[in-house]
Amino acid sequence: MMNPWKYFEMIKIFVTGGTFDKDYDEKNGRLYFKKTHMNEILALGRSKVEVGIETLMMLDSLDMKEKDRQLILKKCAAANEEQIVITHGTDTMTNTAKVLGAKRLKKTIVITGAMIPYKFGTSDGLFNIASALAYVQTMPHGVYIAMNGRVFLHNKVIKNRETGIFEEIK
């Protein structure tokens, strides 16, 4: 039975990198990782949700290997929290979602990301993290992807490479 008061529980946020946390080097015009912007993002959104933030890695998801996905799985399984949000690069978040979904953990896990880096000032990341925090508090146990105000089951979603939009697999 779902706990009707579960939204009062702490939410774990695991940071893995992705476009969300990229910075822009004005000298050479490249994107790079320095540190997560999650605390700044939550402060900007005036979030009152109790969270614990842990950076697992700072990777472009195209560089993510199976060992990285296994680390994410291990951390989710070991977390005391039942509600987990993972920031992730959009290119391979569906792969990570499938690894997590296959384990059927008794937790609600929502993976989200951004198409535009937070530091660009026009990022969809703020909206996506807010949506993910709302979904993780209201969805039943399972693994989901939250992008652009929509939430998808881990095994019923694909990123349309032409449009850059996540779509439900029928």
pLDDT 10s digits, 72-125: 999 999 999 999 999 999 889 999 999 999 999 999 999 999 887 776 777 788
The band of 134, judged by pLDDT with boundaries at 50, 70 and 90, is very high
pTM over 0.85: yes
The band of 21, judged by pLDDT with boundaries at 50, 70 and 90, is confident
Could you tell me if residue 148 is left (phi over 0), alpha (psi between -120 and 50 degrees) or otherwise beta? left
Per-residue pLDDT at 1 exceeds 50: no
Note whether 126 and 41 are within 8 A (CB).
yes
